[in-house]
A and B are shown apart, each in its own frame.
Chain A
Amino acid sequence: MKAKTLATTAVLAVMAGAPVMADLVFPSLSYRTGPYAANGIPFADGYADYFTLLNERDGGIGGVATRLLECETGYNTQKGVECYEATKGEGALVYQPLSTGITYQLIPKATADGIPVHSMGYGRTSAKNGSVFRNVFNYPANYWDGASHAVTHILNENGGDISGKKIALVYHNSAYGKEPIRTLEGLAEKHGFELLLLPVDHPGQEQKAQWLQIRRERPDNVLMWGWGVMNQVAIQEAVNIRYPMENFIGVWWSGSENDVLPAGDGASGYKSITFHNIGADYPIYDDLKTHVVDKGLAAGAGDALGTVLYNRGMYAAMLAAEAAAKAQEIHGTADITPAMMRDGMEALEITEARMAELGLPNFGPEFSVSCGNHGGDGFGAIVQWDASAGSWNKITEYYQSDQDIIMPLVAEDSAAFAAENNIEAACN
C-alpha cells in the first residue's frame, strides 16, 4: 500500500514536473582541445554566453529557458558523431558543429532524424539549395561566396583586370579546404588568372615546402583556407619569406586575433574576409557585462569577449535564437520541436531594425532565408589587421559575391547529391 502511494506520488511529481522542465535545447559541438582549440574556444564561448544572456536577461526565448548542451569533439569526426548521438535524444533543436567534416557526417543523419543543421560559413556549400537539402542551412554566406569575395577584392585593387596574374590558394587538405577550388577554377577561367593550388595536410604545422614554392613562383596574391594552428604557421611563414601581407587574404576562418598575434608586427596588413562586424563596440556588450560576466557566468575563461571568433559564435547563437523565436511565432507554441525549428530557420529574416533592437546595430548584412535559398545572399566584406593597434579594421563595405559563377555550381552540385541519394527536389 505504502509503496503504491509512493509510486503514485512519484509519477504525479514527474508529470507535474515535466512542463517546468521544458526548455529549448541547443547543443554546442565545441572543441576546446586539440590543434584547433585556439579557434574553437572563443567561438564556443560566444555561443554559450549569448544563450546565458538570453536566460538571464529575458528568461529565455519566448519565455522558455534555453539549455546549452556542450560536447567536446576535438574537431574529430568520430567524436562528433558520438556527440550527435548523445545529444539528439535530449530534444536538440539545431546542430552547429563548426567543422566541415562533421557537417558532412551530420547532413544525412540529421535529415533522417528531422533535426536542422546550421553550418554558418562552412559545411557543404550546395546546401544553399534548400529544395534538396531540406534540413541544412548555411546562411549568411558560404565558401564559394568567400572565394568570390576575395577575387572581387583583388579585381577592385587592380582596376578590374587580373588577367595573367597568378593567385595561389593555400588550403587545409580536407573537405573544408577543397570546397573553394571549384569556384576559383571557374573564376580563373572568367577573369583569366592562373590558379596555383598548395594543399597543407592536417594539422598544418609543417608548411615549409608550400611557402618555398610560393617564394619560387611569386604569386601576385595568396588566398588561404586554413583553420587552427595552420593559420598561425602560414602567417608566420609568409612573414618569414617577406611576402607582402596586403596581398595575402584569408577566408573568415583564417582571420582571428589568435592567428595573427603570434607573427607580431610582421602580420600587419594581412587581410581576411568576414560576414559580420568586429570589435566590442555594440550595446549588447553592456548587457553581456551586466548579466553574464559580472555574475560570473561567462563560459570558459571569459577572456575572449570582443574577439572575431567570439563575435561569430555570438552571431551564430543570435541567428539560432531568432530562428527559434520565428518558429514559436509560426507555430504559436513556445515549446518548439526540431521540425518547427526548421520551419523557423526557413522563414528567418534578419533586418537592420531587428539587429539594432538586439543590440547589434549594423552587425551583419541583411538577409532572408527561403526554401529555394538556404544560404542567404552571399554578402561579405574585407577586414585588415593592424598590428600596432592590435585590431582588425573593416576596409570595404559589404558586397555580394559573383552569383553568375556560384549559382550554376550550386545547382550542379545539389543535383548530383539529389541523384546520388534519390531525393526529389521540392519546396512545399
Chain B
Amino acid sequence: MFYREAGDFKTSYSDDSQTFPIAFDRYRYYAVLAIAVLIVPFIINDYWVNAIFLPFLIYAIAAIGLNILTGYCGQVSLGTGGFMAVGAYACYKLMTSFPDVNIMIHVFLSGLITAAVGILFGLPSLRIKGFYLAVATLAAQFFLVWLFNRVPWFYNYSASGQISAPERTLFGQAVTGANADPSTRYLVCLFFLFVLAWLARNLTRGSLGRSWMAIRDMDIAAEIIGVNPLRAKLSAFAISSFYVGIAGALFFSVYLGAVEVGEVFGINVSFLVLFMIIIGGLGSIFGSFAGAAFLVLLPVGLKNLLVTGLGWPTDIAAHLEFVIIGAMIILFLVAEPHGLAQLWRLAKEKLRLWPFPH
C-alpha cells in the first residue's frame, strides 16, 4: 500500500537510476541515517560502543570489502584476516612514524597500502580459480601473520610483540587511546562505513562493477565481450583490500587499541568475515550489513540473555552459544540459500503486491 512505485514519478534520468527507486525505501534510508548520526551518539555508553557498535561497523566495512571480491567478482578469498593485519600494522607504523599527521589520513593510507599488498596476492587469481585461489589466499593469511610476528620492525621492537595505539585526536577530540569518548569513536567508524558503503554501492552499479559481475558469471564470455580480466580481477583485489585494510586499521586503532597479530587477525577472522557475507548474501551491500550484524550481535545478545538474564553458568552459556549460532546458520541457509539479503528482497517483493496479490 505504501511500498510501491505507483505515484512516484521520475522526471529525469538521474531520478530514474537512483539507488532507492521506491519513495518509502528512500525515507527509510534517510531515517536510519538520521538515527545513526543524530540520536545514537547521544545515548550510547562504553559498553554499547565496545561490545556492539564498533565491531558491527568495522566488520561491516570488512564484509563489504570481501563482498566486492567474492560476491561481485567471484574470487574466493580466505586472506581477509591477513589483509586486516596489513591495515592495522600499516596504521601503527604510520601513527608512530608521523605522529603529527591526522589519524584519518593514516587510516586512509593504511587502506592504500593494503590495496597494494592485495594486488600482489591477487596476481595468482589471473591463472587460478575457485578452490585453488582460496588456497593461494590462505597462504597470504598465514604468511602475513607470520611476517608481522617474525619481523620486529613491524612492532617497533617492543618486548611483547604487541602493537598499541597511542592517543591521536581529530578536531581536538581523542579518537584513539583509552581516553577517547565513545561517541567520537562511533562517529569516526560510522563516517568511514558510510563513505565506503556509498562508494561500494555506486561502484558496483557502474561499469567497473558490471565488469566484475561479468567475470564472476563467466570469465571466458566476459573476455569475449571485451572485459579485460586482468584489469577487472586486480581492481577487485585492490578495492576489496582497500576496504579490508581500512577495517583492519580501525579495528586496531579505534576499537581494540592493542593488538596481537596471531590472535586478533588469525584465520578465524577470515572465516568469520566469509561467513558474514555468505549468511548476509553474496553480491549485496545490504547483505554485508545484515551478515555483520547477525554474527556480531547474536553472540552478545545470547550471552546477555543466558548469563545476565537467566543467570546460567558462564561455561554452559558459552557452549550453548556455539550450538545455537551454528543451528541458526544452518536454518537460515536451508530456508534461504542466498542469505539474509534474499529474504529481504523477497519480503520487499511481497510488500509491493500487498494487500492485492493479483
A-side interface residues toward B, CB under 8 Å?
30, 32-33, 37, 41, 70-72, 74, 76-78, 81-82, 85-86, 88-89, 100-101, 104-105, 107-109, 111-113, 124-125, 173-175, 178-179, 181-182, 199, 201-202, 300, 413, 416, 420-422
Task: Verify if B228 is at the interface (C-beta below 8 Å from A).
Answer: no
**From A76, which residue of chain B is reached at the shortest CB distance?**
B263
Question: Please, which residue of chain B has its CB at the minimum distance from the CB of A100?
Answer: B160
Let me know if B315 is at the binding interface, CB within 8 A.
Answer: yes
A105 CA to B319 CA in the complex, in Å? Answer: 25
The reply on B211 being an interface residue by CB < 8 A is no
Q: Min CB distance, A198 to chain B, in Å?
A: 13
A107 to B51, CA, bound (A): 18
Q: How far is the CB of A80 from chain B (nearest CB, A)?
A: 10
Q: Which residues of B contact A111 (CB under 8 A)?
A: 178
Choose one: B257, B300, B307; the contact of A109 (CB below 8 Å): B257
Taking a contact as CB atoms under 8 Å apart, the answer to whether A101 and B315 are in contact is no
Residues facing A in B245-275 (CB within 8 A) are 256-260, 262-264, 266
- Contact across chains for B162 and A104 when beta carbons are under 8 A apart: yes
Q: 18 new A-B pairs (CB below 8 Å) besides A101-B263, A416-B158?
A: A32-B315, A71-B307, A72-B314, A72-B317, A74-B318, A81-B50, A85-B46, A85-B50, A88-B46, A89-B47, A101-B260, A104-B260, A108-B178, A108-B258, A109-B257, A174-B263, A178-B161, A182-B159
Given the interface contacts A32-B315, A85-B51, does A413 sit within 8 Å of B159 by beta carbon?
yes
List the B residue with the shortest CB-CB distance to A174: B260
Which of B158, B162, B179, B263 has the largest number of chain A CB atoms within 10 A?
Answer: B263
A86 and B315 within 8 A (CB): no
Given A109-B257, A112-B178, are A82 and B315 neighbors across the interface (CB < 8 Å)? no
CB contacts (< 8 Å) of B256 on chain A: these are: 77-78, 81, 105
Chain B nearest CB, measured from A181 CB (Å): 7
Q: Is B235 an interface residue (CB 8 A)?
A: no
Of B177, B260, B300, the residue contacting A108 (CB under 8 A) is B177
Question: B166: shortest Cβ distance to chain A, in Å?
Answer: 6
Are A82 and B160 touching (Cβ within 8 A)?
Answer: no
Cβ of B149 under 8 Å from chain A? yes
The answer to whether B263 touches A104, judged by C-beta atoms less than 8 angstroms apart, is no
A32 CA to B315 CA, complexed, in Å: 5
Report whether A175 and B178 are in contact in the complex, using a CB–CB cutoff of 8 Å: no
CB pair B262–A71 under 8 Å, yes or no, is no
Instruction: Indicate whether A33 sits within 8 Å of B318 (C-beta atoms), given known contacts A105-B256, A105-B257, A109-B178.
Output: yes
Name B's A-contacting residues (CB within 8 A). 45-47, 50-51, 55, 149, 158-162, 164, 166-167, 177-179, 256-260, 262-264, 266, 300, 303, 307-308, 314-315, 317-319
Q: A32-B318, A78-B256 are in contact. Are A85 and B47 (CB under 8 A)?
A: yes
How far, in whole Å, are A124 and B47 apart by their CA atoms in the complex? 25
Give chain A residues whose Cβ lies under 8 Å from the Cβ of B257.
Answer: 105, 108-109
Look across to chain B and name the residue whose beta carbon is closest to the beta carbon of A82.
B51
A300 contacts which chain B residues (CB < 8 A)? 315
B46 CB contacts on chain A under 8 angstroms:
85, 88
Q: Nearest Cβ in chain B — how far from A128, in angstroms? A: 13
Task: Report the Cα distance A104→B155, complex, angstroms.
Answer: 14
Residues of A within 8 Å of B303, CB to CB, are 72
Shortest distance from the beta carbon of A142 to any chain B beta carbon, whole Å = 12
Nearest CB of chain B from residue A317's CB, rounded to whole Å: 17
Query: Complex formed: what's the CA distance from A250 to B71 in Å?
Result: 48
Q: Select one of A32, A104, A179, A181 contacting B314, CB under 8 A.
A: A32
Q: Distance in Å from the Cβ of B164 to the closest Cβ of chain A? A: 7
Cα–Cα distance between A76 and B149 once the two chains are bound (Å): 18
Q: How far is the CA of A74 from the CA of B299 in the complex (A)?
A: 13
Contact A86-B318, Cβ < 8 Å, known A77-B264, A182-B159, A421-B167: no
A-B contact pairs, 16 of them (CB 8 A): A32-B315, A32-B318, A33-B318, A71-B314, A72-B314, A72-B318, A82-B51, A82-B300, A101-B162, A108-B257, A112-B178, A112-B179, A125-B159, A174-B260, A179-B160, A182-B159
Please pick, from A109, A181, A202, the residue contacting B159 in the complex, using a CB distance under 8 A: A181
Whether A33 contacts B319 by the Cβ 8 Å rule is yes
Contact of A72 among B162, B264, B315 (CB under 8 A): B315
Query: What separation, in Å, do the CA atoms of A45 and B289 have in the docked complex?
Result: 40
A174 & B262 in contact (Cβ 8 Å cutoff): yes
CA distance A113 to B45 in the complex (A): 13
Contact B319 A178 (CB under 8 A): no
Which residues of the partner chain A approach B50 to less than 8 Å between Cβ atoms?
81-82, 85
Contacts of A89 in B (CB 8 A): 45, 47
B55, B158, B318: the one within 8 Å of A78 (CB) = B55
State how many angstroms separate the Cβ of B301 from the closest Cβ of chain A: 12
Most chain A CB neighbours (cut-off 10 Å) among B46, B160, B179, B308: B160
Within 8 Å CB of A76, what residues of B?
Answer: 263
Contact, CB under 8 Å: B262 / A173: yes
Assembly CA distance A81 to B251 (angstroms):
13
Q: Would A201 and B262 be within 8 Å (CB), given that A78-B256, A86-B51 are in contact?
A: yes
Looking at A72, A107, A416, the one whose CB has the most chain B CB atoms below 10 A away is: A72
Smallest CB gap from B46: residue in A: A85
Complexed CA–CA distance, A70 and B311 (Å): 11
- In the complex, the chain A residue whose C-beta lies closest to that of B322 is A33
B318 to chain A, nearest CB (A): 4
Contacts of A85 in B (CB 8 A): 46-47, 50-51
* Complex contact A175–B161 (CB within 8 A): yes
- Asked whether B159 lies within 8 Å of A179 as measured between CB atoms, the reply is yes
> Which of A104, A182, A199, A413 is close to B258, meaning CB atoms less than 8 Å apart?
A104
Contacting pair B166 A420 (CB below 8 A): yes
A173 vs B319: C-alpha distance in the bound complex, in angstroms? 26
The distance in angstroms between the C-alpha atoms of A111 and B179, with both chains bound, is 9
| Residues of B with C-beta under 8 A to A100 | 160
Instruction: Give A30's nearest chain B residue, CB to CB.
Output: B314
**Whose C-beta in chain B lies nearest to the C-beta of A111?**
B178
Knowing A72-B314, A108-B178, A202-B263 are in contact, say whether A173-B159 is a contact too (CB < 8 A): no
A86–B51 Cα distance when bound, in Å, is 8
| CB of B294 to closest CB in A, whole Å | 17
Chain A neighbourhood of B164, CB < 8 A: 104, 108, 420
Chain A residues lying within 8 Å of B51, measured Cβ to Cβ, are 81-82, 85-86
